[in-house]
Amino acid sequence: MKYLIRVRCDEVEGFRRDILIDEESTFLDLSKVILESCGFPDDQMTSFYICADNWERREQITREDCHELSSADQDLYTMADTPLADFLDEGITRMEYVFDPFNERTFNLRVAEEEPGHGDPEIVRSVGKAPQQIADMDATTAAILGGASIDLDNDFNDDLYTDDELDLDGFEISDGDF
Full set of structural domains in the chain with CATH: 2-133 (3.10.290.30)
> What's residue 178's pLDDT?
46
Determine the pLDDT at residue 47: 96
pLDDT at site 115 = 93
Measured in degrees and rounded to the nearest 5, phi and psi for residue 24 equal -85, -10
pLDDT of residue 91: 84
Contact 155, 141 (CB under 8 A): no
Q: Pick the closest to residue 17 from 4, 2, 7, 9 (CA basis).
A: 7
Distance CA 111, CA 3 (A): 6
CA Rg value for the chain: 22
Through-space distance between the first and last CA atoms of the chain, rounded to whole angstroms: 56
Over its length of 178 residues, how does the chain's per-residue pLDDT go in tens digits? 999 999 999 999 999 999 999 999 999 999 999 999 999 999 999 999 999 999 999 999 999 876 555 455 567 899 999 999 999 988 899 999 999 988 999 999 999 999 999 999 999 999 999 998 887 655 545 555 555 555 555 555 556 656 666 566 665 555 555 4
The answer to whether 109 touches 10, Cβ cutoff 8 Å, is: no
* pLDDT value of residue 89: 86
